[in-house]
Amino acid sequence: MRLQPRNRFEVDSDYELLASLEVVREVNNGITIDSAAVTADSDGNKIILKGMPMAKLTASGKYVPYNASGTNGSQNPTVILKRTVNVKDGDEVVGGFEVAKVVAARIPVTVNQALRDKMPHIVFA
């Protein structure tokens, strides 16, 4: 007889992002994602993965995924996205972390020294 619990199903985006709960500060009232600035995939979805560094556009004040070569504010990330979101139907307000210790391997972009320098309040472990 098997007494150990087993997973019946797994949710892809239900992985733990935080490496520690010691010092965590979330964005008050969330961030607004600019759906017009997010490119769609072949199915028309505009999915931004959990853990994506987000940057504020200088023109609109809304957030977009981090783009290292951007010139519109997207090159300066300040927030780590708290959950996966699809913005195909318009702008969404979602939660994010301003200060946290996160697992670098679970961030959907390459965590290099340039990203670490731009996000001094996020510790990539």
Which pLDDT tens digit goes with each residue over 93-122? Answer: 999 999 999 999 999 999 999 999 999 999
H/E run at residue 114: helix 113-118
Give the pairing type, strands 122-124 and 96-102: parallel
Q: Is the pLDDT of residue 1 over 80?
A: no
Mean pLDDT of the chain: 92
Cα–Cα distance, 91 to 17 (Å, whole number)? 24
- The residues spanned by each domain of the chain are 18-124
Identify the CATH homologous superfamily for domain 18-124: Head decoration protein D (2.40.300.10)
Residue (of 85, 54, 59) closest to 71 by Cα position: 59
Q: Higher pLDDT residue, 3 or 40?
A: 40
Cα–Cα distance list, 20 to 13, 47, 125 (Å): 19, 26, 9
Q: Is the pLDDT of residue 72 over 80?
A: yes
Report DSSP letters for 8-64, one per residue: S---TT----EEEEEEEEEPTT-EEE-GGGSPP-TTS--EE-TT-EEEE-TTT--EE
